[in-house]
Amino acid sequence: MLAQGWAADRLAWGVVVCLAGAVLSLIGRRALRQSGGHVLFVFGISAAAALTLIYVRRPGLAPIPQVAWTFAVISLLWSVAAAFAGRGFPVSADRRLQSSLGFQLCALLFGVMAVIIQIVVLIMRMIAVGLDLFQGYSVGGDRRYGFGVDGLWTLGFLFASCGVAIWSAQSRRLVTCHLWIAVMAVFWSCLLAAPFTTHAAGGFERSPMSVALTVSLAALLLVAVIIQRCVDQRIRWRQVHSDPDALARPLPPPPGFVVSCAVIGAALVVLTCYHVLVPVRLLSWGYSGSRLAVGLSAVAGAWASFLLLARSWHEGLADAALGLSSLAMCGLAILAVPSGNTPLSDLYPMLFNAMIVGLALATGIWTYLGSLWRQQLAGGRAWTTSGHLIPHVQRFAFLNAALALVAGALMTYWPRLPTVPAMDDTLGRVTAGFGAHLFLLLVMLWSSRRLHRLTFHLLTVLAVFTTAGFMVVRMIPFASGVVD
């Protein structure tokens, strides 16, 4: 108790000394240089705020989260000070501008330091969770490295600080930073849950943490794009009355916003591919609920990407939008697969058949759109978003066809794999598999005839071989002990 009281007294005296130094720097700013007085004032106030926060914060918090939390709160305080600097005081406009810029610089400095700490801690947690998911089981042990619920408070203060800075400065430069702080908060919230749940018998099962991450990222991307569109429309409405000539010039997006949305879309593509290939139970809804949630997330991500593409063209964002659209079609096809208590050895052939149908459907749609949008070319040059998308949809048509053939080849030799216990030769399975292969073959024939490309002709020949091989493998008794 005496040691705690002595430490509290030291902190209190430290706060008093820092505040006294800040006051003296204001009083003697004429004797000092103007910049030197501002530096001493900022240093004194920041140190006093840091010591006060260390005293107020509960003592059980780890040192790294404590430092990040302190810097985030100080950043918020300086952002608020910058927003209200000089308001209500009889000072000149130049003095108010200098004070506001100085406070904004302090808020940016402490915010960057807090973000760096949070990024390091978050990356360490992502590596630990990624290793568990890659191995397929939980290694165990406490590997959080300072990762906890308190980090959400830090990110919340940083988000508020950035929001106040955007509101006070009326600047679009911090919009992308605002978005990435929200992305960090989404990752942090979802990674608080364990990647695996333990059964009473001691077994492991993947938790719906990754599904929640996919849904949250898609929702965040859609909300960010819609809000940005609303803000742009409001700016345009103001220009109607203030500067009508500016309406003839396109309104540029915030710096880095389109690239950031493309990166988020690419992350959604990776997460959606993971959930398509790895079934995850979603609480009481089972596998069907997980597929529906992931499929809707792919639809939301593709919708947001296309909304942003209509205003700002970016090739990376176009690829992310087309990839999410293709995966959304796969998700719709996978929804037809019954789940229940089906073993994974019986569930995977049905999933692959559904993937073949979804990828073949995406191949046909991209082929058709690539041919349809050619009418929007003027002298061979694109002048609309659809015209810019033509080479991208053609590449994705080929990519989806190739992936469908890979899945078809896998289904052809599925009964001969050493880890598969069943022949997969029941009437229902053979009918469903042959129907999926036949649909792929018809789509490939139609696409090759429409595009007149050698690559699609070769893929069509491979589709014929996979369809024939699928039936031959299931007609010949390859299983041991069947042939006398």
Mean pLDDT of 91-100: 52
Mean pLDDT of 111-128: 87
- Given this model, what pLDDT does residue 92 score? 47
Q: Of 451, 438, 334, 319, which is closest to residue 389 (Cα–Cα)? A: 319
Q: Strand locations in 94-184, DSSP E?
A: none
For residues 162 and 146, give the distance between their C-alpha atoms in angstroms, rounded to a whole number: 24
- Given this model, what pLDDT does residue 407 score? 87
For residues 138 and 191, give the distance between their C-alpha atoms in angstroms, rounded to a whole number: 14
- Given this model, what pLDDT does residue 300 score? 93
Contacts of 211 (CB under 8 A, 6+ apart): 275, 280, 282, 290, 293, 294
Mean pLDDT of 329-351: 76
Q: Strand locations in 10-73, DSSP E?
A: none
272-293 burial, b for 16+ CB within 10 Å, e for fewer?
beebbeebbbbeeeebbbbbbb
Mean pLDDT of 452-475: 85
- Given this model, what pLDDT does residue 88 score? 45
439 against 195, higher pLDDT: 439
Per-residue pLDDT of 349-385, as tens digits, reads 888 888 888 999 999 999 988 888 887 777 667 778 8
What percent of the chain is predicted at pLDDT more than 70?
70
pLDDT mean across residues, the chain: 77
Q: Does residue 182 contact residue 261 with C-beta atoms inside 8 Å?
A: no
Contacts of 69 (CB under 8 A, 6+ apart): 53, 57, 61, 114, 150, 153, 154, 157
Token code pair at residue 303: 């919708």
pLDDT of 15 higher than 90: no
- Given this model, what pLDDT does residue 266 score? 92
pLDDT of 22 higher than 70: no
Q: Where are the domains of the chain?
A: 57-194, 208-232+251-339, 342-484
User: Around 38, how many Cα atoms within 13 Å sit in the side-chain half-sphere?
Assistant: 14
Q: Does residue 324 contact residue 276 with C-beta atoms inside 8 Å?
A: no
Per-residue pLDDT of 212-252, as tens digits, reads 889 999 999 999 999 988 888 887 777 666 666 665 566 77
